[in-house]
């Protein structure tokens, strides 16, 4: 084991290549991170385009590794999924984000909602609906202020149990959003099958709508479809004022992106809220 200084058990196998060993090590470290205090949530504002008001935030998990520094969720979420740690991690994210949102309400910002990313593995476990119910009732937050962000591929699963789970969540008032909309499969049947409330247009379409006629046409079509199906629409990856303005002209209600703010610690987020509502 290269990392002799640490007292955690290190699995070594001659047949494993360097990167496999790294993955194993990182997975072990993630196990520790979950029991320690290396994980935190950052919040990225969701903004109403008409008014510029902050209406909520997406919770995004961050890992400060003791040796490696910040590691991106793009790297460690897939590890957590493979190692079965995502259920524990996901529950921690849900609890933290929901209690944070409750604190915003207690501070007087009673309209703010919080969005949480949900992995397919969490949803398939069978007790997810109950977890959400318990977290909401323990925190005292009403379900309408919790948005669950699901991916399209997750909804291709036509199992009856998934349908029951999503229906149960809707009965608790929870908002269901499709994340990265447009990047998945072109089978939109799930929009009828499930009571989805919101589409988040992927940033690959959004970020250049002011330069690309094609991207603009795609975003325009998505917005029109969303409106005729009574779905709320949020554009991701808004980086410039021009893009924000164009989205507003296209009739998009909400946006999220570096133009307003990067994901930031809760203290910085509430400062932005105070400023935006002043
Ligand atoms: P996502 O759900 O699509 O989240 C949006 C990602 O885009 C975030 O990356 C955010 O920082 C980034 N972003 C926001 N605005 C802009 C912008 O204007 N320009 C650009 N270039 N990027 C922008 P982040 O935080 O690195 O998260 C990456 C992915 O990791 C997320 O993508 C999500 O799939 C996953 N993830 C993060 N937190 C969680 C979590 O708690 N649970 C699960 N299951 N997945 C998570
Ligand atoms: Ca998301
Ligand atoms: Ca997304
Ligand atoms: Ca994504």
**Ligand 3 geometric centre to CA of 26 (Å):** 25
Structure tokens at 257: 């992106």
Q: What is the dihedral of CA 195, 58, 109, 34, to 10 degrees?
A: 110
Ligand closest to CA 92: 1
Closest CA to 222 of 200, 189, 240: 200
Q: Which pLDDT value is given to residue 14?
A: 57
How far apart, in Å, are the Cα atoms of 49 and each of 53, 202, 235, 269? 8, 17, 10, 18
Is the minimum distance from the CB of 87 to ligand 1 under 6 angstroms? no
Q: Which pLDDT value is given to residue 21?
A: 87
Q: Which pLDDT value is given to residue 93?
A: 98
Q: Which pLDDT value is given to residue 265?
A: 98
Atom of ligand 1 nearest to the CA of 200: 3
pLDDT along the chain (278 residues), means of 10: 43 64 90 92 98 97 94 94 94 98 97 96 91 98 98 78 91 96 78 89 94 94 94 97 97 97 98 90
Q: What are phi and psi of 103, to 5 degrees?
A: -65, -40
Q: Which pLDDT value is given to residue 54?
A: 97
**Ligand 1 geometric centre to CA of 9 (Å):** 32
Contact 243, 23 (CB under 8 A): no
Contact 134, 140 (CB under 8 A): no
Compute the distance between CA of residue 121 and CA of residue 220 in angstroms, rounded to an integer: 33
Structure tokens at 218: 């795609």
Q: Which pLDDT value is given to residue 49?
A: 97
Is the minimum distance from the CB of 77 to ligand 1 under 6 angstroms? yes
Residue 265 contacts by C-beta under 8 Å, 6 or more apart in sequence?
A: 40, 42, 43
């Amino acid at each position: 084991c290269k990392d002799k200084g640490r007292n955690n058990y290190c699995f070594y196998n001659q047949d494993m290549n360097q990167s496999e060993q790294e993955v194993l090590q990182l997975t072990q470290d993630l196990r520790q991170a979950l029991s320690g205090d290396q994980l935190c949530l950052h919040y990225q504002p969701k903004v109403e385009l008409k008014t510029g008001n902050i209406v909520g935030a997406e919770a995004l998990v961050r890992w400060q590794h003791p040796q490696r520094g910040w590691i991106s969720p793009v790297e460690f979420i897939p590890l957590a999924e493979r190692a079965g740690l995502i259920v524990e991690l996901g529950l921690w994210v849900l609890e933290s984000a929901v209690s944070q949102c409750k604190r915003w309400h207690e501070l007087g910002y009673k309209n703010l909602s919080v969005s949480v990313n949900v992995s397919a593995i969490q949803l398939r476990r069978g007790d997810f609906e109950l977890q959400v119910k318990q977290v909401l009732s323990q925190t005292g937050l009403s379900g309408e202020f919790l948005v669950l962000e699901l991916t399209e591929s997750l909804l291709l699963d036509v199992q009856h149990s998934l349908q029951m789970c999503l229906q149960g969540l809707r009965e608790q008032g929870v908002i269901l959003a499709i994340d990265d909309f447009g990047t998945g499969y072109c089978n939109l049947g799930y929009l009828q099958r499930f009571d989805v409330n919101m589409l988040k247009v992927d940033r690959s379409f959004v970020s250049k709508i002011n330069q690309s006629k094609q991207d603009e046409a795609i975003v325009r079509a998505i917005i029109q479809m969303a409106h005729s199906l009574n779905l709320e629409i949020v554009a991701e990856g808004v980086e410039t004022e021009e893009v924000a303005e164009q989205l507003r002209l296209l009739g998009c209600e909400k946006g999220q992106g570096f133009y307003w703010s990067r994901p930031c610690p809760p203290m910085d987020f509430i400062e932005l809220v105070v400023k935006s509502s002043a």
